[in-house]
Structure 1
């Protein structure tokens, strides 16, 4: 008896509607018959006898936007016995983007052996966080959902300050009143009663440079109730460039419906990597930030710094023996990683895996890549035998040609 009760409780974990589905629903199209519209909200109305139903078009989908981010543990879907009610092979995506093709969300699972006339309890292949849940059916069949229920815990992931904000902050200008300076560091000092505040100038911004590259999952911003504290429509950019206009970074999101007097939990439209986080406000209003918190995981560099002074050939041999090769820098992201890696170098320059061949008359990467992206200092990209490239660890981290017998620290590819 005890075992049967346990099995029943385990089997019915999705039947307890512990996420109240009051969010906004949508679907790719709506099937209509006579005066009856099979709208998307029917999938969460508590009535299994009336269903959401798309038209018979290519790649149908249904989506709900929850009111907060959830850690989804189970999804229960009920379809009554009817034509097109079998949704075997439909995909379920969960994330913080409303894109319906799953390109900016995590795939929860593929529905297998769907049964009509009962609840199908569907579990993600791994834990997935998000506020958008999308059911997507490829092919030309309509998508039918009579009832959808969810189980999961609310995730206030921004309340855990798991990125210690000890980086360098900056802002476009600093508002001053009497002897009080509203400096940029106030946004990360742990005190919500004193704020960073720019002057009333065009296109204000605030920025922090973290000590390492992070995969940012959530940003929490608190502003006390005050004039200019509403930062609705401000843009958040994340990347490895300190440009404040976002031209060299990815746009995380636009802040919507900002509320004063509480933490606003802001999630990027898609996963974004970077060490520079910029909040930018267009127009002539000052930018006020009383407290900023970040959540995200640390990203490992593809490079490692060797703090030994060697010639280029010895450095090449060392890297190939202990790692993979001398570092190749093929794009701006690689350059950013190299800049971070070189920060602790004991020499002004660090060797890279870039060499000039007199025989073929061109520069090449020793990992067998053509030279396309470059960060040469002016006049340094010249053809000269017995030369290799080294990156300066300061002053824009430009590349210089150096004789092979000079000795520097060097960067290896892991």
Structure 2
């Protein structure tokens, strides 16, 4: 939604009804979690999915595919409270929007343990009938091949009418939500350039710094949660388990600083990193971000050879 809010600013007050975005329908129909998690664990009931419907419910501990226009109660994820049952009848897309606005997202079930936890939650709360989970399938894919399952369709869309195989923003509407439109339509469009770039070469921190300054602007400084989200988007493609950031330890005062000279205010350290005094008698310590897991920051000797992230602008 943060990306969508940025796009809304760029398409405001355009005279055209629609503006192209990079979402297109393909011939590949795949199941995915609303949260963007890959579907690695499956728990379909016998005979399911039966090939017709595109959203999933939990029923007696197993999954069933049903029409997304059905009205069901649903379960959201919340960072603080865990699972949240919402006793309101909504279609799948409206349930997804409710969870995203009030909690995090519709619940994901990524393994057998989470499936058992979800069923226990349903039993403990005496929840009867089918409940929406965050599993859906569609054949829409982003042109940059990213796995994002974020959707912002207008109510009733996509209606898959005829050859409406490309997505556009409704620029003459305050919501700026999406519609499916024939791809041959002549429309203005929004381009995207990442402010960050992942370099898949393996270099020491000093070599990475030199490379970024010669070819781009600098090693990335992560001053805010927003920049951390951008880092998380690009770091997933790394070939090393951790990736250099523009973060270094000022040894004599045991302070962590960004290359911009700013003290680290926003923090995203992995446990045991960044908070205890560093032993830098043998080698200076630099900051890196994990390419998998929770993508937290860790402290490493600067001689490690890693991928790294450069910034492309002066922000």
Q: CA deviation at 1:313?
A: 1.2
Q: CA deviation at 1:174?
A: 8.5
What is residue 236 of structure 1 aligned with on the other side?
A: 97
What is residue 194 of structure 1 aligned with on the other side?
A: 53
Looking at secondary structure, tell me which structure has more strand per residue: 1
Q: TM-score by structure 2 length?
A: 0.52
- 1:244-393 correspondence to structure 2 within 5 Å: 244=105, 262=159, 297=190, 299-381=192-274, 382-384=276-278, 385=280, 386-393=284-291
- 1:32-181 correspondence to structure 2 within 5 Å: 108=13, 127-129=14-16, 155=18, 162-164=23-25, 169-170=32-33, 178-181=46-49
Alpha-carbon distance in structure 2 between the residues aligned to 1:261 and 1:313: 49
1:238–1:252: 8 Å Cα contact kept in structure 2? no
Alpha-carbon distance in structure 2 between the residues aligned to 1:350 and 1:175: 35
What is residue 307 of structure 2 aligned with on the other side?
A: 409
Alpha-carbon distance in structure 2 between the residues aligned to 1:394 and 1:355: 21
Alpha-carbon distance in structure 2 between the residues aligned to 1:254 and 1:235: 12
Please tell me whether Structure 1 or Structure 2 has the larger radius of gyration of its CA atoms: 1
What is residue 125 of structure 2 aligned with on the other side?
A: none
Q: Deviations over 1:11-32 (max 9, x none)?
A: xxxxxxxxxxxxxxxxxxxxxx
Q: Deviations over 1:53-103 (max 9, x none)?
A: xxxxxxxxxxxxxxxxxxxxxxxxxxxxxxxxxxxxxxxxxxxx9xxxxx9
- Does residue 400 in structure 1 map to residue 298 in structure 2? yes
3-state DSSP of counterpart to 2:24? coil
Change (3 A) 1:403 1:234: same
Q: Deviations over 1:146-202 (max 9, x none)?
A: xxxxxxxx65x79x98335778712699895641226xxx7xxxxxx432221269x
1:302–1:413: 8 Å Cα contact kept in structure 2? yes
Alpha-carbon distance in structure 2 between the residues aligned to 1:343 and 1:261: 30
Q: CA deviation at 1:308?
A: 1.7
1:253–1:269: 8 Å Cα contact kept in structure 2? no
The Cα RMSD (Å) is 5.0
Q: TM-score by structure 1 length?
A: 0.41
Q: CA deviation at 1:335?
A: 1.5
Unmatched tracts of structure 2, length 5 or more: 36-40, 73-88, 108-149, 162-167, 184-188
Q: CA deviation at 1:403?
A: 0.6
Alpha-carbon distance in structure 2 between the residues aligned to 1:261 and 1:309: 44
Looking at secondary structure, tell me which structure has more helix per residue: 2
1:171–1:198: 8 Å Cα contact kept in structure 2? no
3-state DSSP of counterpart to 1:162? strand
Alpha-carbon distance in structure 2 between the residues aligned to 1:319 and 1:306: 9
Higher relative contact order (CA closer than 8 Å, sequence separation 6+): 2
Alpha-carbon distance in structure 2 between the residues aligned to 1:323 and 1:351: 15
Alpha-carbon distance in structure 2 between the residues aligned to 1:337 and 1:163: 23
3-state DSSP of counterpart to 1:336? helix
Alpha-carbon distance in structure 1 between the residues aligned to 2:273 and 2:267: 11
Change (3 A) 1:245 1:299: farther
Change (3 A) 1:234 1:194: closer
2:201–2:307: 8 Å Cα contact kept in structure 1? yes
3-state DSSP of counterpart to 1:315? helix
Unmatched tracts of structure 1, length 5 or more: 1-96, 98-102, 109-126, 130-153, 187-192, 207-221, 273-291
1:327–1:411: 8 Å Cα contact kept in structure 2? yes
